[in-house]
Amino acid sequence: MIEKILNIIENADNWLVLTHEKPDGDTLGCAVALAHFGGRMSKRVLLGCPDQCPERYAFLQNIAPVVTMRCLPDGFPGTGGVAICIDTSNAARSVPGLLGGALECLIVNIDHHIDNEEYGLVNWVDPAASATGEMVTELLFQSRWGIDPDEATALYAAIVSDNGSFSFPSTTLKSHECAMKLLNAGASPNDIAEKLDSNLSVGALRLWGRAISRAETFARGVCALCWITLEDFEGTGTTRQDTENLVNFLLRIKGVRLAALCSEGIGWSDEREVRVSLRARAPFNARAVAGSFGGGGHDLASGCTLQLPISDALDAIRGNMEKHASARFSANQ
Ligand SMILES: [Mn+2]
């Protein structure tokens, strides 16, 4: 598979590298590394993201610029070009219109989500990878172009942001092997950790405080939930980007194995909606809950969006989590 992909991208002059919507460190780190790699191969590269690059990952833009795009650029990458979709389980999460056939080029789909819909002409999906960053690390290492320090930095950032700095159950020996290779190629774990983790605004900290002050547990203490309203974002001068990783805090409550953060947002049709981030510890399954509301993701990290007022959304999520928990309780009896 790696050779096949290297062959395709080496033969294409124009690369459109695409992240998924609401980009995280994995999709951005991989895309930036690939765009930089393409630059070294003298390719014409455009790195597109359906949403703005979050402040936390702004340092990656020094390696390759990220262009916010809501539709596809005219005539690029064109026939003979290639679109590389990174960490994106379905085409609808990519630049809108991708599925509509507006893209006449080859689509290479590189991802580690188990529910990947294999929408590309070439689909490399490895659910055993703790981050798509592991896969792109392999890809670059196996190429005759190797990997440079900037690409190593971006890929190390991709890996640590998706596997909780090697703490999630998805972490494997392979994750550490990739890290070793990236350190060898010039990545600095300390610099990257500082850039990723020590960048909260005081407003973000206050927002977290509001959310955490509402934390509740239920279903015999195995479920936890909290929420944020649009007014909270306004009152603290923050955006939804400032909620990244907040849901993981709920899993730090002793005994909690299923956690949800519900945050109000404005949808594409200018209506209020509620975006839900879910986290689980096995055998609880975050994707099962997200899936009931049309969402998806990983078993232990998932998300969905509810077109409901916040109080109704909270009831719906709470109810579903409770049902999930009682199914687990009866399975254990
Ligand atoms: Mn990922």
pLDDT tens over the chain, length 333 residues = 999 999 999 999 999 999 998 899 999 999 999 999 999 999 999 999 988 998 889 999 999 999 998 777 888 888 889 999 999 988 878 875 554 556 778 899 999 998 899 989 999 999 999 999 999 999 999 999 999 999 999 999 999 999 999 998 899 999 999 999 999 999 999 999 999 988 889 999 999 999 999 999 999 999 999 999 999 999 999 998 899 889 999 999 999 999 999 999 998 788 899 999 999 999 999 999 999 999 988 899 999 999 999 999 999 999 999 999 999 888 876
Judge whether 18 and 84 are in contact, CB under 8 Å.
Answer: yes
Do 107 and 28 share a structural domain? yes
Instruction: Kindly report the pTM of this predicted structure.
Output: 0.81
Residue type, 76: F
Q: How far apart are CA 68 and CA 89, in angstroms?
A: 19
Last residue of a domain, one of 165, 197, 229: 197
Burial 241-261 (b: 16+ CB within 10 A, else e): bbbbbbbbbbeeeeebbbbbb
CA of 208 to the centre of ligand 1 (A): 24
Do 107 and 228 share a structural domain? no
Rounded to a whole number of angstroms, the CA Rg of the chain reads: 20
CATH label of the domain that carries residue 40: 3.90.1640.10
CA of 124 to the centre of ligand 1 (A): 13
Length of the chain: 333
Do 162 and 294 share a structural domain? no
Question: Near ion ligand 1, which residues have CB within 5 Å?
Answer: 26, 87, 132, 162
Strands 296-297 and 301-306: antiparallel
CA of 121 to the centre of ligand 1 (A): 20
Rounded to 10 degrees, what is the CA torsion of 86, 88, 94, 99?
110
**Sheet bearing 106-111, strands edge to edge:** 67-68, 44-49, 14-18, 82-86, 106-111, 122-125
Contacts of 296 (CB under 8 A, 6+ apart): 89, 90, 113, 115, 287, 290, 302, 303, 304
Q: How far apart are CA 180 and CA 175, in angstroms?
A: 9
Residue recorded with tokens 């590309």: 120
CA of 326 to the centre of ligand 1 (A): 30
Do 221 and 124 share a structural domain? no
Do 120 and 8 share a structural domain? yes
CA of 92 to the centre of ligand 1 (A): 16
CA of 257 to the centre of ligand 1 (A): 21
Do 240 and 325 share a structural domain? yes
Give the range of the structural domain holding residue 247, as residue numbers without chain letter: 202-331
CA of 279 to the centre of ligand 1 (A): 14
Last residue of a domain, one of 168, 197, 226: 197
Residue recorded with tokens 């690369």: 15
Last residue of a domain, one of 146, 166, 197: 197
CA of 38 to the centre of ligand 1 (A): 21
Q: How far apart are CA 306 and CA 53, in angstroms?
A: 24
CA of 170 to the centre of ligand 1 (A): 11
Cβ-in-10-Å burial (0-12, 13-18, 19+) of 303 comes to buried
CA of 168 to the centre of ligand 1 (A): 13
Do 251 and 218 share a structural domain? yes
Number of domains within the chain: 2
CA of 287 to the centre of ligand 1 (A): 14
CA of 330 to the centre of ligand 1 (A): 32
Do 245 and 268 share a structural domain? yes
CA of 225 to the centre of ligand 1 (A): 23
Q: What's the first-to-final CA gap in the chain, in angstroms?
A: 44
Do 219 and 191 share a structural domain? no
CA-based nearest residue to 247, from 40, 24, 19, 33: 24
CA of 274 to the centre of ligand 1 (A): 22
